[in-house]
Structure 1
Amino acid sequence: MIDNISLIAVYPEIMLLVMACVIALMDLGVKTPLRGATYVITLMTLGAVAVLQAMYASSGMTHYAFGNMVVSDSMGNWLKCFATVAMMITLVYGRPYAGQRDMLRGGELFTLSIFALLGMFVMISGNNFLVIYLGLELLTLSSYALVALRRDHVPATEAAIKYFVLGAMASGFLLYGMSMLYGATGSLDITAVFKAIASGNVRHQVLIFGLVFIVSGLAFKLGVVPFHMWIPDVYQGAPTAITLMIGGAPKLAAFGMTMRLLVEGMLPLAIDWQQMLMVLSIGSLLVGNLAAIMQTNVKRMLAFSTISQMGFVLLGLMAGVVNGNTLSAANAYSSSMFYVITYVLTTLAAFGVLLLLSREGFESEEIADLAGLNQRSPLYAGIMAVSMFSLAGIPPLAGFYAKLSVLQALVASGEQVYLYLAVFAVLMSLIGAFYYLRVIKVMYFDAPITASNVVAGADVRVVLCLNGAAILVLGLMPGGLMALCARSVLQMLGT
């Protein structure tokens, strides 16, 4: 029997699943090119789900459902709420672009987006290895289809094939690592795995072998070195609206999955996986920033930027346990959570401007395409500048406080090696500032290549302005979101 608690814990998932089916059927009768009715109902569904998740998160309750296979807690619910909002913003920005490129021939864009979001929810809520894996597969299969949605576009088809092949390999890594942990502990339940590892009655060599494969799979989803090879090609080849869909909300789900597997499931092995994350973060900061300098394509530059930004997220995750002491865990993990939320918010604004500048028959993908944007539209140039400054970590924007909180967590650990890592991260950020500032230089000091006005619908204009304002407000007043992250992580660690 399924009890009421189990159903309450998964109400948002049930709502998404039911509405995805309803929207798919309803769209059969929609004839307008921009799928207005489908679009409105999709946004209303996502808005209702976001409100429901925020209510769940604010209650501070933790529910284990379906025989401990699913967990509904504050951290997971806030991540799902922010992922839902990110998906709503993505669809607002992406619909005009998709309509001009014949990607709205059917309602697949909206239906697949909801299924991808459902996969993220399952990943974040999973308290069992197989549940997390099922959520991951639902997200990735939807993403493959979305990347290839522009059927007549060769680069998009090529990007989808690359994503599929490398994604299948990463899924294999993750599944193999989970099977090794199951063989060592005798359970797929994350709580039971934690207890088995903490008991010390499990062969350490087998655990480490499984851990290596799990970290490899997680590294692929986060897009960090050396599992980053898909990111530049998929970001560049995919339609820009789908690039935003891949680079936004799924990062929150990947962070949630990492917290479930490494922190909730394998915290006693922190000494081992933190060393792995250290290598991944150093490589990501180095390769991401140095490779981004050489890019002339904005989407490819932002792809390498993503790699370096995820390196910062890993810095926070690896500072949680120091000499077997977990006193700094809440501070370190909450700083990483804050970082990934502000990163997604900033990425949405940056790609939103690129989507706005793209028009029928023209892709705004090269840095040169942004030349003189300030003369054509000071508002959109300002929003893009705010995004670039935030990604570079320049005060008083959200990106600065995000970087500061991660560096503070490293320094507060008291470990000399972490202090060196903090210095290294600052140096890499200085290098990274070059390619962000280059975009701003092109927008404000180069002559425009076209005199055409930038035209946007009222929904896109309003959301883009709110997005840019949120980046500034969170930089000036980060305390509220930081406290929310800290409470969520503390509650997760306490259960």
Structure 2
Amino acid sequence: MQMTDLIAMLPELVMLVITCLMLLTVFIKEQKVNDEDVFETPRASQLTYQLTLVTLLGLSFAFGLQAVDQPVHAFNNMFLVDALSSLLKSVACLALLISLIYSKQYLVDRGLFRVDFFALTMLSLLGQCILISGSNLMSLYLGLELMALPVYALVAMQRDSRWSIEAAMKYFVLGAMASGFLLYGMSMLYGATGSLDLNEIYRAVGSGGINRLVLAFAVVFIVSGLAFKLGTVPYHMWVPDVYQGAPTAVTLLIAGAPKLAAFALVFRLLVGGLLPLTADWQPMIMILAVLSLIVGNLTAIAQSNLKRMLAYSTISHMGFMILGMLSIFDQHAYTAALFYAVTYVLTTLGSFGLLMLLSRQGYECETLDDLKGLNKRNPWMAFIGLILMFSLAGIPPTVGFAAKLSILETIVDAGYLYLAIIAVLTSLIGAFYYLRVVKVMYFDEPIQTEAIAAQGIAKAIFTVNGLFVLLAGIFPATLMALCLSAMSKTLLS
């Protein structure tokens, strides 16, 4: 191990040390009194929460400053620092920061404002960062498992809720199955190429001297595992149940930053390692995308539970995102997919944030009826909600429109006009259930009359979140240029 290796991984090491110190400080300073759980002590929880926010803000800046023109390979090429990884990790830290600000009052009201909650979220973020920077099959898999295992515990943290326990069990079992598929595909790939390094795999596969049948089976298992992690059809069965069963704060942790890590996993494996096998994995990606667009949008129409509706919405959006992976080594197509992933995560933060801001102790805002008449109760929150729904539907001038338009341009340029037609038609279907939410907020009479007790800082972040979605749609060039710069530097290297 060299000093350059440690410097390359310094932000992740800082994250790990701070997370361990959170737990150690609790056990050293807090004593169990009358069998009180040390993780539930108010003073420790508040200090840990503040430390977590400060750490995430600092890490977001650190990862942004870490962006390099030339990639840095560390730990025998197991860990890669490049422009793409720096951008994704910076946005992931920012997404988790916003998620925790939205979640504070929600967690307090449900007895989940605990030290172990924040420690688990930080460990999951650490896994995401390792996954995003993985350039070796081993580091990719370790990062994936470190990202997933803490989330299983978070889903089940509301121990008195049978829905949460059921969701955690489903998530764990199906997640283990997906990991098994992915690991089996990776083992076949290693057996065929003799290497775990993605660059070596790329060269070995491109040489043409490897048994194509073995590689084809490896691709099938790898793409199946990726589809599970993305939640695309037909591997989507866990998404709606987990989204609905988990506490809304945990649902946001699943729907937010991990999507960026999932994009990185798809990009590193399919483009960084298996690009010569495009003829094998591209038809599978195409089928997954089309099925996700159709099933996700059609099924979402029938949902009255907002969390389930947003779950099926996620399935359709993941299908839309992977359409950008169909162009062969096209930096503009990959940039469009990256832009879509980033903007989708930022929009999703606000959508689930709205549900948490409207929830209170003993009451969950999670059905369409709960949003009835929101414009009469709080016109500004209804307006921000309208912007977020318009963005998810892809209606101009929001950033969701710019993201969908960029994907459509790339698939038309690649010669897949029929896919563009399918994507547009399914987006029109999807617009129905998003506009239904707007109709409920603006034209129905309110059922809930209690005052909205959201904290000031959470409401301020919600406002900034919504306005960013609007302004980034009116002026998308800056964010698109940032994504293009990161992707072009990564591909050229």
The 2-side partners of 1:34 and 1:270 are apart by 51
Q: Which amino acid aligns with 1:189?
A: D
Deviation at 1:4, TM superposition (A): 2.1
Instruction: Name the structure 2 match of 1:4.
Output: 3
Partner SS state of residue 383, structure 2: helix
Tell whether 2:424 aligns with 1:426: yes
Report Cα offsets for 1:417-460 as digits up to 9, x if no partner: x1010011000000000000000000000000022111221220
Partner SS state of residue 66, structure 2: helix
Tell whether 2:445 aligns with 1:456: no
Tell whether 2:50 aligns with 1:40: yes
Q: Which runs of 5+ in 1 are unaligned?
A: none
The 2-side partners of 1:27 and 1:488 are apart by 40
The 1-side partners of 2:448 and 2:58 are apart by 41
Tell whether 2:94 aligns with 1:85: yes
TM-score, with structure 1 as normaliser = 0.96
**Aligned pairs (5 A) from 1:303-314:** 303-314=311-322
Report Cα offsets for 1:82-106 as digits up to 9, x if no partner: 01100111111111111111112x3
Deviation at 1:7, TM superposition (A): 1.1
Instruction: Name the structure 2 match of 1:26.
Output: 25
Q: Which amino acid aligns with 1:462?
A: A
The 1-side partners of 2:412 and 2:70 are apart by 32
Tell whether 2:445 aligns with 1:447: yes
**Aligned pairs (5 A) from 1:376-455:** 376-413=377-414, 415=415, 418-455=416-453
* Match of residue 232, structure 2, among 215, 224, 228: 224
Q: Which amino acid aligns with 2:309?
A: M
* Match of residue 63, structure 2, among 53, 75, 78: 53
* Match of residue 252, structure 2, among 244, 253, 257: 244
Report Cα offsets for 1:394-416 as digits up to 9, x if no partner: 00000000000000001112x2x
* Match of residue 485, structure 1, among 483, 486, 489: 483
The 1-side partners of 2:331 and 2:160 are apart by 48
The 2-side partners of 1:430 and 1:299 are apart by 21
Partner SS state of residue 365, structure 1: coil
Tell whether the 8 Å contact from 1:180 to 1:207 is kept in structure 2 after alignment: yes
TM-score, with structure 2 as normaliser = 0.96
Tell whether the 8 Å contact from 2:360 to 2:453 is kept in structure 1 after alignment: no
> What do you get for the CA RMSD once the two structures are aligned?
1.1
Tell whether 2:292 aligns with 1:293: no
Deviation at 1:461, TM superposition (A): 1.4
The 2-side partners of 1:61 and 1:194 are apart by 19
Report Cα offsets for 1:362-391 as digits up to 9, x if no partner: 111111110001100111111111110000
Instruction: Name the structure 2 match of 1:362.
Output: 363
Instruction: Name the structure 2 match of 1:372.
Output: 373
Tell whether the 8 Å contact from 2:358 to 2:454 is kept in structure 1 after alignment: no
Deviation at 1:271, TM superposition (A): 2.0
Deviation at 1:243, TM superposition (A): 0.3
Report Cα offsets for 1:46-72 as digits up to 9, x if no partner: 111111100012x43310001111110
Partner SS state of residue 80, structure 2: strand
Q: Which amino acid aligns with 2:193?
A: T
The 2-side partners of 1:199 and 1:227 are apart by 32
The 1-side partners of 2:441 and 2:24 are apart by 44
Instruction: Name the structure 1 match of 2:83.
Output: 74
- Distance change >3 Å, CA 360–CA 219, structure 1 → 2: same
Q: Which amino acid aligns with 1:377?
A: N
The 1-side partners of 2:152 and 2:297 are apart by 27
Tell whether the 8 Å contact from 1:298 to 1:366 is kept in structure 2 after alignment: yes
Tell whether the 8 Å contact from 1:26 to 1:38 is kept in structure 2 after alignment: no
Tell whether 2:221 aligns with 1:213: yes
Report Cα offsets for 1:342-379 as digits up to 9, x if no partner: 00000000100100111111111111110001100111
Bigger shift: 400-409 or 148-157?
148-157
